[in-house]
Structure 1
Amino acid sequence: MSQKLAIIEPLGISEEEAQQLKEQYLPADVEMTYYNTKAKDAAEQAARIGDASLVMLANSPLREDALSKGANVKFLSVAFTGVDHVAMDYCRGKDIIVSNCSGYANEAVSELVFGLAIGLYRKLAACDAAVRSEKTREGLLGFELSGKTFGVVGLGAIGRQTVKLAQAFGCKVLGYNRSQKDIAGVEQVDLETLLKESDIVSLHVPLTEATKGLIGEAELALMKPTAILINTARGPVVDTAALAKALTDGTIAAAGIDVFDGEPPIAADNPLLKAPNTLLAPHIGFATKEALAKRAVIAFKNVAMYLQGKPQNVMN
């Protein structure tokens, strides 16, 4: 009996590319529907799921109110690294297997870390504004990455790739991780030590109950007044209000932020919009042509392995 695959939102690839991946990785009798637009609400998500047993999505929230309408759903292939936007408790209760696409954005996210760091250190936004308003480099003295202490919070795949790039820039690297990792050239320390000693702190932890608010007022107070914070992980890992206050008060020097408490567009009253010395991006860490192509392949392979009875990248 054939199974239905519903791809309920865009994957960053064309319908033609999705069809090619389907033909390459999935049995011929799998019926696939690809919705190349975002659903406007949970009701539309539920309608798109319909009677499909296989569902693929990216980073749009998929909650119980939509999932519960899909009586046949057995497997979710999440084309994303984190799955905190999925109703995981519901999936566990209904024996719905959830797989993610860990690894697809290692290079993309870690490269953005250094785009943000260099952007802040070399005041690139102000430099661009100066040229456009017929000004000189006056007041735009910057800093070098070389010789700085670079703290990596979370030594998973993206964290380890960030370590490599930091070392290539000539930084001393400190690492913090729940478990001990053997990484050449990295001094693994506790979080307090890392925050106190690092010139740059880059966050690479998943969003869990344990990491929500990991960096708050007390943690920011430990950092050097010359330090910068980079967050390309998950927005709620950092207390937004506390970060905005720390920037305004000069507790830390600057912040490069790609993730927020919700997906952009962010609210006009978000305090980071008025905080000084910030470089903000609309969650683009994963968004490169190469990363999205890799992500789609993994997402389809996840479906293929599930159909073979050997699910991979399982998150529950």
Structure 2
Amino acid sequence: MKLVIIEPLGVAKEKLLDLATATLGNQVEIIYYDTRVTDTVELIKRGKDADIIAVSNLPLNSEVIEGCPNLKMLAVAFTGVDHIAVDTCKAKGITICNCAGYSNAAVSDLVFGMIITLYRNMLSCNEVVRQSGTKDGLIGFELEGKKFGIIGTGAIGLRTANIAKAFGCEVYAYSRTVKENTGLIYTDLDTLLQTCDIISLHVPLNAHTKHLINAQKLALMKPNAILINTARGPVVDSQALADALNSHQIAGAGIDVFEMEPPVPSDHPLLHSINTIVTPHVAFATKEALEKRAVIVFNNILNYLNGSPTNII
């Protein structure tokens, strides 16, 4: 069996290959690429002889999948798989396994980093001190007592909810599946948007969630509310959000994900909206999370080889 690691996985090459060898032994021949390419022809060249491909968030379209005739398994070093031609994989009987759970702590950390940065005017405070200024006009807000809305109560959503409760927030939730005994107040989407001071998105991208947060939904939010998106960019209508921010319809936003992977075009509306923090899709990217992810990738491959695949999409 030939395993192609088609792009870097965020762990030093030597450490990654040592981990792969320790987990998989001599069951596979490993080919490792330490550069990231997006050209379809080059991706096919890299993967055409592979039985298994390990990939992070590099888009693998139908043409790439069709161009890899030996492919039997995709080990996706990511939680979401909207960058993979899933239907083509299913049609060809290719098993897809993801790495659910590796970034739960990392993503939740960034959510609260963004919230506190917005609530306590951290960016402006940093600038004003450097310009010999004072706290005038920079009085912030506390998390305690705020109504905190979680949209999507999977593992990351629930972890975020638990942290919010530790800050003393009253936590509301909207999700396709209601989780029992969580201490969350489940409600419909419109009620959550109308009620909450902070709204954090934790849903996958699919036909039902694209532009889930659009102009009509933003109009329901409080003028003092902030929106945090560490899920997927297209879950939010970016232009509608920028318009809501610039017209003071809502108070602020923290955005880690866009319609495309960074670099984000300079004319993107959320790069020019007020009281907006933007980060380059880094919520998952901590040293600890990337190492957890590599462990899951190779365990997924091992379980597949042993006939008991895990984390199947």
1:215-239 deviation line (CA, Å, top 9, x unaligned):
0001100000000000000000000
4+ residue segments displaced more than 2 Å: none
Q: 1:130 and 2:137 equivalent?
A: no
CA distance in 2, matches of 1:153, 1:172: 14
Aligned residue number for residue 215 of structure 1: 213
CA distance in 2, matches of 1:94, 1:241: 38
Q: How many residues align?
A: 313
Deviation at 1:65, TM superposition (A): 1.9
Find the residue that maps to 1:222 and give its secondary structure.
coil
CA distance in 2, matches of 1:153, 1:180: 11
**What percentage of aligned pairs have identical amino acids?**
53
Aligned residue number for residue 71 of structure 1: 69
CA distance in 2, matches of 1:84, 1:50: 22
Aligned residue number for residue 164 of structure 1: 162
Aligned AA (1:264): P
Aligned residue number for residue 92 of structure 2: 94
Find the residue that maps to 1:229 and give its secondary structure.
strand
Aligned residue number for residue 264 of structure 1: 262
Deviation at 1:76, TM superposition (A): 0.1
Deviation at 1:15, TM superposition (A): 1.5
8 Å Cα contact 2:2/2:52 also seen in 1: yes
Structure 1: which 5+ runs fail to align? none
CA distance in 1, matches of 2:43, 2:303: 25
Find the residue that maps to 1:207 and give its secondary structure.
coil
Q: 1:200 and 2:180 equivalent?
A: no
Aligned residue number for residue 138 of structure 2: 140
Deviation at 1:248, TM superposition (A): 0.8
Moved more, 17-26 or 52-61: 17-26
Aligned residue number for residue 292 of structure 1: 290
Aligned residue number for residue 189 of structure 1: 187
Aligned residue number for residue 48 of structure 1: 46
Aligned residue number for residue 13 of structure 1: 11
Aligned AA (2:215): E
After TM superposition, the score normalised by the length of structure 1 is: 0.97
CA distance in 1, matches of 2:284, 2:264: 18
Aligned AA (1:13): V
Aligned AA (2:112): F
- Residue of structure 2 aligned with 1:243, choices 223, 232, 241: 241
Aligned AA (1:205): V
CA distance in 2, matches of 1:269, 1:202: 25
Q: Over aligned residues, Cα RMSD in angstroms?
A: 0.9
Aligned AA (1:304): L
Aligned residue number for residue 306 of structure 1: 304
Find the residue that maps to 2:219 and give its secondary structure.
helix
Aligned residue number for residue 23 of structure 2: 25
Deviation at 1:55, TM superposition (A): 0.3
Find the residue that maps to 1:18 and give its secondary structure.
helix
Find the residue that maps to 1:286 and give its secondary structure.
coil
CA distance in 2, matches of 1:245, 1:291: 34
Aligned residue number for residue 37 of structure 1: 35
Aligned AA (1:10): P
Aligned residue number for residue 277 of structure 1: 275
Find the residue that maps to 1:77 and give its secondary structure.
strand
Aligned AA (1:8): I
CA distance in 2, matches of 1:133, 1:185: 45
Aligned AA (1:277): N
Aligned residue number for residue 151 of structure 1: 149
Structure 2: which 5+ runs fail to align? none
Deviation at 1:29, TM superposition (A): 3.6
8 Å Cα contact 2:38/2:58 also seen in 1: no
CA distance in 1, matches of 2:257, 2:208: 18
1:250-302 deviation line (CA, Å, top 9, x unaligned):
11100000000110110111011111010111001000000000000001111
Deviation at 1:27, TM superposition (A): 3.6
Aligned AA (2:84): V
Aligned residue number for residue 173 of structure 2: 175
Deviation at 1:67, TM superposition (A): 1.8
Find the residue that maps to 1:285 and give its secondary structure.
coil
8 Å Cα contact 2:38/2:59 also seen in 1: no
